[in-house]
Chain A
Amino acid sequence: MMRLKQPETILIKGIREGLLITLGEGDWQSIFASLMEKITEKEKFFEGAKLALDVGNRTLHAADLGTLRDRLADKNIILWAILSNSPVTELTAQDLGLATRMSVPKPERIIKSIESSIPGEDAIFLRKTIRSGFKVVSNGHIIIFGDVNPGGEIIAGGSVIIWGRCQGVVQAGVDGDQNATVCALDLNPTQLRIAGIIAISPKRKGKPQPEVAKIIAGQVVVETWNPKSR
């Protein structure tokens, strides 16, 4: 199929970075001549322009591009970029310190998909009885699946969960984390501290129940775990 219309030989467009000139078909020498002609015609318009030149598929060498840049400079036009589909032309342009892309591609905006795995925090887990004279220490949280006997000690930077009876010494939030909590199925510690604050725990009466200790208004408060009002 025949082309009905020859594309414009020289196309000029204003862009954010200055001017973009796209060169059409034709041999380099003649298109270069007609470009210079056009510029001379509209000297005022081109004066001081920053120019990006799209040379299409042409293979241009250092001499061609050097001359081009110098001639444009004579007209007070700054050639800053050569756009080309030819790798040779691109490399030549790069050697001359010219850009070969219109702009640094902006990093693609990262569109976060809705993340359904929750990162969580570090904890250590022990499935055993913490007996008298033994100590569990961690900067993170501590989970014990078992009892903490009198004389046993739990010292955590974070929170402490004891799935069992707690009769030893428990310190949570030792580095000052006031949000740390201590829970146990039967919370009956020798001593309990959260962020350095010592709990004054009344002796429990009746059946043991799961309890949660936390700081409320600067005091360690022990509450019965209530599945309805957490």
Chain B
Amino acid sequence: MNAKVVTISSGKGGVGKTTTSANLAVALAQENQKVVCIDGDIGLRNLDVILGLENRIVYDLVDVVEGRCRIRQAMIRDKRLPELFLIPAAQTRDKSAVSPSDMIRLCEELRDEMDWIIIDSPAGIERGFRNALAPADLVLVVTNPEVSSVRDADRIIGLVEAEEKGPAQLILNRVNPSLTKRGDMLSTDDVLELLAIKLIGVIPEDESVIVASNRGQPVTFANNSKAGQAFHNIAKRLLGEEVPFMDIEANNGLMNKLAKMMKFRGD
């Protein structure tokens, strides 16, 4: 096995990195992949909460890096999906406890045993982001269809390029079709025109995401939510499947693009 390291970043905080990390990990594990999530948000750990594994933490990332335990001991196995693991972040405030080369070493050790290593990065472009970026094979940038979040995504995409980890791919999260229709929210086209990178997923604004997170049961476990479906689609695309984009933005964006393409063909 030779795992692919996927880093989830955003620049701006609160756009859905941790939600995405948890759901992608679950969705990939449901596709029979061996997955380990690493919470790179040292000091503000919450991937464990979203995954509902909080009460099982004994060792964390800093313990591994500082040699207090072996990697295996810090990997919490998810009882719902035996191929899903979590390496939680430390609650320590010392963000410099982990370095980019520690992360590279850690991932090298995990690569042989896993199919996917999903790293949830903290907001911002500081040390934690550098740590999460260092071992990445692929960077997924999460943004909301909103100006300041797109601006920060642009910054991240530039930094990923500068570190020669590009091109990053885009996840557009919390899309509200009725707001987009009214022109009160950026459309997928608007965002893509500016960021000029490949889109790998569009996730609708969905109450069930919040409910699921609070229960420690990511939406991807339940099969009836649109957001859950969108995350499953991303997982499939990561596995190389061609999955058409969901019709959550009916009447704009992709649909328009498709309509235009058809028109061109007809001419």
A133 contacts the other chain (CB 8 A): yes
B158 near A134: Cβ-Cβ < 8 Å = yes
On chain B, the residues within 8 Å of A129 by CB distance are 158, 196
Total A-B residue pairs with C-beta atoms closer than 8 Å? Answer: 30
Q: What range describes how many residues of A lie at the interface?
A: 10 to 19
Alpha-carbon distance A129/B194, docked complex (angstroms): 9
Kindly state whether residue B151 has any CB partner on chain A within 8 Å.
yes
Residue of A nearest to B162 (CB): A134
Q: Does A131 contact B (CB under 8 A)?
A: yes
Determine if B158 and A150 form an interchain contact, defined as CB atoms under 8 angstroms apart. no
Q: Indicate the member of A134, A149, A150, A151 with the most B CB atoms within 10 Å.
A: A149
Asked if B157 lies at the interface with its beta carbon under 8 angstroms from chain A, I say yes
Q: Which of chain A's residues have a CB closer than 8 A to the CB of B154? A: 131-133, 149-151
The answer to the question of A54 belonging to the interface, with a C-beta cut-off of 8 Å to chain B, is no
Q: Which of A128, A132, A147 has the most CB of B within 10 A?
A: A132
Q: How far is the CA of A129 from the CA of B196 in the complex (A)?
A: 8
Contact among B155, B194, B196 for A133, CB-based, below 8 A = B155
Report how far A147 CA is from B151 CA in the complex, Å: 14
Shortest A149–chain B CB gap in Å is 5
Q: Pick from A133, A147, A167 the residue with the most CB of B within 10 Å.
A: A133
- Report yes or no: B196 in contact with A151, Cβ–Cβ below 8 A: no
Which B residues touch A134, using CB under 8 A? 158, 162
Across-interface contacts of A133 in B (CB, < 8 A): 154-155, 158-159
B48 within 8 A of A: no
Nearest residue in B to A149 (C-beta to C-beta)?
Answer: B154
B41 at the interface (CB under 8 A from A): no
Task: Determine whether B60 belongs to the interface, using a CB cutoff of 8 Å to chain A.
Answer: no
B196 touches A132 (CB 8 A): no
Roughly how many angstroms separate A131 CA and B11 CA in the complex, as a whole number?
13
Residues of B within 8 A of A151 (CB): 151, 154-155
Report chain A residues within 8 Å CB of B157. 131
Would you give the shortest CB distance from A146 to chain B, in whole angstroms? 8
Contact of B115 with A by CB under 8 A:
no
B120 within 8 A of A: no
Distance in angstroms between the alpha carbons of A132 and B161 in the assembled complex: 12
The interface residues of chain A lying within 8 Å CB-to-CB of B152 are 132
When the two chains form the complex, which single residue of B151, B159, B196 contacts A150, counting CB atoms closer than 8 Å?
A: B151
In the docked arrangement, what's the CA distance between A128 and B164, Å?
A: 13
Closest to B157 in A: A131
Chain A 146-175 residues near chain B, CB threshold 8 A: 147, 149-151, 167
| Inter-chain pairs besides A134-B158, A147-B196, 19 sampled, C-beta below 8 Å | A128-B161, A129-B158, A129-B196, A131-B155, A131-B157, A132-B152, A132-B154, A132-B155, A132-B158, A133-B154, A133-B158, A134-B162, A147-B194, A149-B154, A150-B151, A150-B154, A151-B151, A151-B155, A167-B194
Interface residues of A (CB under 8 A from B): 128-129, 131-134, 147, 149-151, 167
The 9 closest A-B pairs by CB, nearest first: A131-B158, A132-B154, A132-B155, A133-B155, A131-B154, A132-B151, A134-B158, A149-B154, A151-B151
12 residue pairs bridging A and B, Cβ less than 8 Å apart: A128-B161, A131-B158, A132-B151, A132-B152, A132-B154, A133-B154, A134-B158, A147-B194, A149-B154, A150-B154, A150-B194, A151-B151
